[in-house]
Structure 1
Amino acid sequence: MFCNQCEQTAKGTGCTVVGVCGKKPEVAALQDLLLHALKGLALYAGEGNKLGIIDREMDRFTVGAIFTTLTNVNFDATRFVPLINQCVQYREVMKEKVAAAGGQVSFADPSASFQPAADLDGLVKQGEEVGLVNDHDAPADIQSLQQILVYGIKGISAYADHARILGQEDDVVYAFIYEGLAALTNKDLGLNDWVGLVLKCGEINLRAMELLDAANTGKFGHPVPTEVPLGHKAGKCILISGHDLQDLANLLEQTEGKGIYVYTHGEMLPTHGYPELKKYKHFYGHYGTAWQNQKKEFAAFPGAILMTTNCIQDPQAYMDNIFTTGMVGWPGVQHVQNGDFGPVIERALAMPGFAEDEDKGSVMVGFARNTVMSVAGKVIEAVENGDIKHFFLVGGCDGAKVGRSYYSEFVEKAPQDTVILTLACGKFRFFDKKLGDIGGIPRLLDVGQCNDAYSAIQIAVALADAFECGVNDLPLSLILSWYEQKAVAILLTLLYLGIKDIRLGPSLPAFITPNVLDVLVKNFNIKPITTPDEDLAAILNK
């Protein structure tokens, strides 16, 4: 196997024996094979788009299938077998439709005619033969850009899958996913073509995040400032982790009146701010911290656990208590489908629950764009009066590396006349710190989940409009941490928007070559983090 798609990849170059995430070689091979099959599907889907032939069922399948290949989503080899076979079936149906309409159906790339083996072992062998989706004969810089594109498409697919669950879709998003995958079969594209596709990936991800924002706020309301307990109540309990708001809504509805408290974990924390979710009285508080600490934290949780999206780790110590849904999978873990969480509830009722109340303080969530912009006048006045000197967006993915302590130290050392915006699970390095306020404006503002980068972008654009300047001219600095492919997609969106001077860490992606990095530095002044003291001094003394 070879996998270098996450920040913690082995030796900073790539996992070759087993994934640092726990991914086994056979799963890596099956994921590679699924992406290979999707390239073939994309060739015919692209031709179908030219002819006005749309298959929405196929579109939805495609984003869901790609989602399974993200880091920490699906580790169950058997779940990839039907996906690979379904992919080829969709390809053949689209091929017939395109042929009937007089479109092109002759493609030289092997993915266009790939036929899956009859059993799991055969599929694994096929996956080992195709390897990564990029062109291994291409120059290193083109291979680098191809991988950036693929990982960006993975991020888009995750957001598009979340959005389509709530009824928000756009042909433009699906069309680009097919365009990008099909481009991987084109050996005639040059360096500038790939740069263009990478930036277009950022543009399309912005649309995907916009769709998801509309989906979440349209159904559950705009987040409002909400105090979330970090302790617990005596009684039966269920812990829900991941990102999916519809799964949480279904769980809350199905547990109402059953004497079960529902707690969030990880990036589910911001869901406490949504009016249509917080109305449930048994939706109590937040348990634990970021995804990489779950083995210890989940083992101590006295109830059932539901994983809705990516972030799952090896659950051997609590296999009977954890359930997966959606695209998530782990061998031996019970998978529940179609929003029916009866088995989860049954397990929670059979477990002891918390024996007594515990008060561990609280944190505030709900500072998405509507909340922040409702006090925009106050914020602008504070800036003009010199009460607020600078804004820092310190957000992104958390992870296990020691170097990630940089982010908590940065926040602790940020001057008292600065405001910290944060989102995604990187916040768990400092989410419970009491930083005070500036004239009633909290110094620490939780914007939401990783996809709520859309909200943060809208806040920045609105402030730039208010100050009649560009976003790059605002007293705003982005200090980002990355781990997986959704973070790649968000970074590409920021680059598409022309955002400059981003500081990225804790290490740079293994799939970026020195020449590609040089392009990013020259055009966007993107730079690696150094130390909190050095970076704060460089930013505030400009």
Structure 2
Amino acid sequence: MFCYQCEQTAKGEGCTKIGVCGKQPDTATLQDLLVYALKGLALYATEGRKVGVNDKAVNVFTCEALFSTLTNVNFDSERFVGLIQRTVELRDALKEKVKAAGGKVDFAEDAANFKPEGSISGLLAQGEKVGLMSDPDLDPDIRSLQHTLLFGVKGISAYADHAHILGYDDDAIYAFVHEGLAATLRKDLTLNDWLALVLKCGEVNLTTMELLDKANTSTYGHPVPTKVPLGHKEGKAILISGHDLKDLEELLKQTEGKGIYVYTHGEMLPTHGYPELKKYPHFYGHYGTAWQNQQREFSQFPGAILMTTNCIQRPQGAYQQNIFTTGLVGWPEVTHIKNRDFTPVIERALALPGYQETSNGKTVTVGFGHNTVLGVADTVIEAVKNKDIRHFFLVAGCDGAKPGRNYYTEFVEKVPKDCVVLTLACGKFRFFDKELGAIGPLPRLMDVGQCNDAYSAIQIAVALAKAFNVGVNDLPLSLILSWYEQKAVAILLTLLHLGIKDIRLGPSLPAFTSPNVLDVLVKNFDIKPITTPEEDLKAILG
């Protein structure tokens, strides 16, 4: 195996024996083969659009299948066998439709004619030939941009899938996913062509995040500032982790009146701010962080645990019997829920002891999306003009287990009292419960939401720039980002597409970025690695 799509990849170079995430070599190889098969499918999908053939089932499946290959989403090799087979079925059916419409179907690329073996051993042999490093003669800078594009497209697919689940689709997004996949099979593109595709990926991801924002807010209302308890109530308990709002809604509906309190974990924390979710009285509080102590947190939780999407470590230990997964998420060791029938989760929660007493802990406040912040834009603008607010910091991104992420905790702690910290995604769990106080009526720490709510942060920045009649890069705003996996790659590409400069990125730079590509990013966008909180604050504030 070879995998270097996440920040924690072994030695900062690549996982070759077993994934740092816990991914086994067989699973990694089958994921590579699935991506290869999807590239073949993408050739026909791209050609089909030219002759009026557009298959929504193919579009949706492509994003779902790509999503399953993201870091920490699916570790179940058997499920990848089915996905590979389904890819080829859809490809062959689409090929006939394109042929009938007069489109090109005689592709010379091997991926277009790939036939999967009938056994796992045969599939593994095929997969070993089509991995990330399967072409040793490929120019390393082109490979770097190809893989940046691939990982960015994976991130787009995740966000597009979330939007689709809520009934929102945009064919332009699906078209680019196929365009990007098909492009990785081409041999005629220059470095400038690849750079353009990478920046286009950022542009399309912005569209995708906007679509998801519309899906979330149209379905559940705009988030509002909401205090979330970090304690617990006496009674039965279910913990839900991940990102999927639809899963949470269905869980809340199915647990009504059953004496079960529902708690969030990780990226589910911001969901407490949505009016249509917070209306459930048994939707109580938040438990745990994201990565730092996840295994210990899960093993000590006295109820059932439901995992949705990614950003969660592979479960290990005796408590696995209390864990359930849904959607694309899969581990061989735990029970998978189908069709959002959470009866097994509920039955398990009722059988477990739950909390024996009520504990009133701290509270944290969520709900500072673009609708909330722009609703008090006049107050923000006045505070800046009066020099009550000197600077804004967006300290955002992914969390992870590798040493070095305490930088973000120390950075926020050291931010001067006349500065405001905006945050989003699971990286905030390094500091989300810090008491930073307020500047007038404005809290100094504002939780914008999940990773996909980077769209909110962008909207806030654009609106402030317009209000001050300056460019975004001229605002008293600095971006201090942490990354872990492929959605973060897509978001970073969006920021680059928007021309945002002087981004500080950590805790380490992507292993798939070649020295020459990094040099382009530094020269064109002034992107730089984090150093120490003290040095970075001094460089920013003077």
3-state SS in 1 of match to 2:128: helix
CA distance in 2, matches of 1:448, 1:474: 22
- The letter for the 2-side match of 1:176 is F
- The letter for the 1-side match of 2:337 is V
1:377 aligns with 2:378: yes
Residue 461 of structure 1: CA displacement?
0.4
CA distance in 2, matches of 1:133, 1:140: 10
CA distance in 2, matches of 1:220, 1:133: 43
3-state SS in 2 of match to 1:319: helix
3-state SS in 2 of match to 1:431: coil
3-state SS in 1 of match to 2:167: coil
3-state SS in 2 of match to 1:422: strand
Which position in structure 1 is the counterpart of 2:107?
Answer: 107
Question: Structure 1 residues 135, 171: closer, same or farther in 2, change over 3 A?
Answer: farther
Alignment of 1:60-459 (within 5 A): 60-132=60-132, 135-317=135-317, 318-459=319-460
Cα pair 1:387 1:438 within 8 Å, conserved: yes
- The letter for the 1-side match of 2:273 is G
Residue by residue over 1:404-460, the C-alpha shift from the partner in whole angstroms, topping out at 9 and shown as x without a partner, is: 111111100000000000000000000000000001100000000000000000000
Which position in structure 2 is the counterpart of 1:36?
Answer: 36
3-state SS in 1 of match to 2:404: helix
Residue by residue over 1:136-182, the C-alpha shift from the partner in whole angstroms, topping out at 9 and shown as x without a partner, is: 42210000000100000010000000000001110100000100110
Residue by residue over 1:114-156, the C-alpha shift from the partner in whole angstroms, topping out at 9 and shown as x without a partner, is: 0011022211121112112875422100000001000000100
Question: Structure 1 residues 136, 194: closer, same or farther in 2, change over 3 A?
Answer: farther
- The letter for the 2-side match of 1:173 is I
CA distance in 2, matches of 1:404, 1:133: 29
CA distance in 1, matches of 2:212, 2:133: 27
TM-score by length of 1: 0.99
Cα pair 1:324 1:335 within 8 Å, conserved: yes
3-state SS in 2 of match to 1:480: strand
CA distance in 2, matches of 1:218, 1:339: 21
Question: Structure 1 residues 455, 164: closer, same or farther in 2, change over 3 A?
Answer: same
Q: Percent identity?
A: 73
Cα pair 1:135 1:184 within 8 Å, conserved: no
1:501 aligns with 2:502: yes
Question: Structure 1 residues 54, 134: closer, same or farther in 2, change over 3 A?
Answer: farther
Question: Structure 1 residues 47, 133: closer, same or farther in 2, change over 3 A?
Answer: farther
Cα pair 1:273 1:365 within 8 Å, conserved: yes
Cα pair 2:383 2:389 within 8 Å, conserved: yes
CA distance in 2, matches of 1:54, 1:218: 27
Which position in structure 2 is the counterpart of 1:27?
Answer: 27
Cα pair 1:45 1:94 within 8 Å, conserved: yes
CA distance in 2, matches of 1:76, 1:466: 50
3-state SS in 1 of match to 2:21: coil
Cα pair 1:265 1:288 within 8 Å, conserved: yes
CA distance in 2, matches of 1:367, 1:484: 24
Cα pair 1:42 1:178 within 8 Å, conserved: yes
Cα pair 1:420 1:443 within 8 Å, conserved: yes
Question: Structure 1 residues 133, 53: closer, same or farther in 2, change over 3 A?
Answer: farther
Cα pair 1:272 1:278 within 8 Å, conserved: yes
CA distance in 2, matches of 1:247, 1:215: 14
The CA RMSD over aligned residues, in Å, is: 0.9
Q: Which ranges of 4 or more aligned residues in structure 1 deviate by more than 3 Å?
A: 133-136
Residue by residue over 1:310-354, the C-alpha shift from the partner in whole angstroms, topping out at 9 and shown as x without a partner, is: 133232321210000010000121100111111100100010001
Question: Structure 1 residues 354, 7: closer, same or farther in 2, change over 3 A?
Answer: same
Cα pair 2:290 2:312 within 8 Å, conserved: no
- The letter for the 1-side match of 2:100 is A
CA distance in 1, matches of 2:292, 2:407: 17
Which position in structure 2 is the counterpart of 1:525?
Answer: 526
- The letter for the 2-side match of 1:373 is L
3-state SS in 1 of match to 2:328: coil
Which position in structure 2 is the counterpart of 1:488?
Answer: 489
The count of corresponding residues between Structure 1 and Structure 2 is 541
Gaps in structure 2 of 5+ consecutive residues: none
Residue 292 of structure 1: CA displacement?
4.7
Question: Structure 1 residues 175, 133: closer, same or farther in 2, change over 3 A?
Answer: farther
Residue by residue over 1:373-414, the C-alpha shift from the partner in whole angstroms, topping out at 9 and shown as x without a partner, is: 111000000000000000000000011122111111110000
Residue 363 of structure 1: CA displacement?
0.3
CA distance in 1, matches of 2:266, 2:117: 38
- The letter for the 2-side match of 1:25 is P
3-state SS in 2 of match to 1:434: coil
3-state SS in 1 of match to 2:357: coil
TM-score by length of 2: 0.99
Cα pair 2:267 2:425 within 8 Å, conserved: yes
CA distance in 2, matches of 1:412, 1:129: 48
Is the deviation greater in 233-242 or in 114-123? 114-123
